[in-house]
A and B are shown apart, each in its own frame.
Chain A
């Protein structure tokens, strides 16, 4: 399988987040604060993390997400585990 580019990873995260929290995909962009944009709390963020780990087949300890609030940085963290 070919390696995903960071942009692909970001796009896939946006797709998954939009589907999970039932928001229009076009309303999300990489630099959005996902807590604010999706209106989610920390438990819901962990539920998103669970889906992302399964989708990308990675394990991402939640402490690596400390201070991460935007999709682009989240994608970078995941990309570093692919």
Chain B
């Protein structure tokens, strides 16, 4: 399946480049619907890989790349469940998400996230699976999970640590603060900063450059330079599930999902 139009994501393979677009309103919250479609994408990927050099992930929504996990869905889907059943439900969800993220991370194609505006939580974690992040000037990054009593659960900490080193990770994780694209480039998260609205165009130009090189060599280089921290990723799931079971986390999530406040994303 070289092209697909879903409710949350769409993709198309053309001229050696796969473009995967996110388009679930309001800001590409990642829930089970998105996950179902990402799993479809993974099933279609091996066949497309034969004909492609690069994969670009971007958002069609002006609100941003992605606001992260669909916390409302996670919260409401576990309401009324026994504690153990809720923990098992969350673990199963995380296992599926990690499978998607790990497969994208290990994809032999060169992968580019073209991001703008809100790139938070699970959205940042999705971008971190990519080999390069190209961001326009409106991009803003954040791991807000600690505000809810959680840690990022979609592979964010091990991947951020792999890419940036521990000191920056601690600042971002423990303060939960958001930061702009200038800071993101200073710390090495973003490789190219472009004018507003130009991230996808520049990503396409970068992908076109990649088609000039031998695919096998590029895949070997990627494997060599970008090891996947599987052990830490497993541990992340355990910690997330332990924290999710705490009453304080339930209170934090309840406050967030029921908030009519204009400031749920501000500390």
Q: Which residues of A contact B (CB under 8 A)?
A: 35, 40-43, 45-47, 49-51, 53-54, 59, 61-63, 65-66
Contacts and interface: CB of A to CB of B under 8 A. Distances in A.
B140 interface: yes
A46 B266 contact: yes
B178 interface: yes
B211 interface: no
Contacts of B137: 50, 54
Contacts of A46: 118, 140, 178, 265-266
B116 to A, nearest CB: 10
Given A35-B262, A54-B137, A62-B266, 19 more contacts: A35-B263, A41-B262, A42-B266, A43-B64, A45-B266, A47-B140, A50-B137, A50-B138, A50-B140, A50-B180, A50-B181, A53-B180, A53-B182, A54-B180, A54-B182, A63-B175, A63-B176, A66-B266, A66-B267
Given A47-B117, A47-B138, A47-B140, A40 B180 contact: no
Contacts of B160: none
21 contacts: A40-B262, A41-B265, A42-B263, A42-B265, A43-B64, A43-B118, A43-B265, A46-B265, A49-B180, A50-B137, A50-B180, A53-B182, A54-B137, A54-B180, A59-B179, A59-B183, A62-B178, A62-B266, A63-B175, A63-B267, A66-B267
Nearest to B267: A63
Interface of B: 27, 63-64, 67, 117-118, 137-140, 142, 175-183, 261-267
A45 B137 CA distance: 16
A46 B27 CA distance: 14
Nearest to B63: A43
Contacts of A49: 140, 178, 180
Contacts of B177: 61-63
B266 A65 contact: yes
A37 to B, nearest CB: 12
Contacts of A51: 138
A51 B261 CA distance: 23
A54 B177 CA distance: 17
Contacts of A62: 142, 177-178, 266-267
Contacts of B140: 46-47, 49-50
Contacts of B267: 62-63, 66
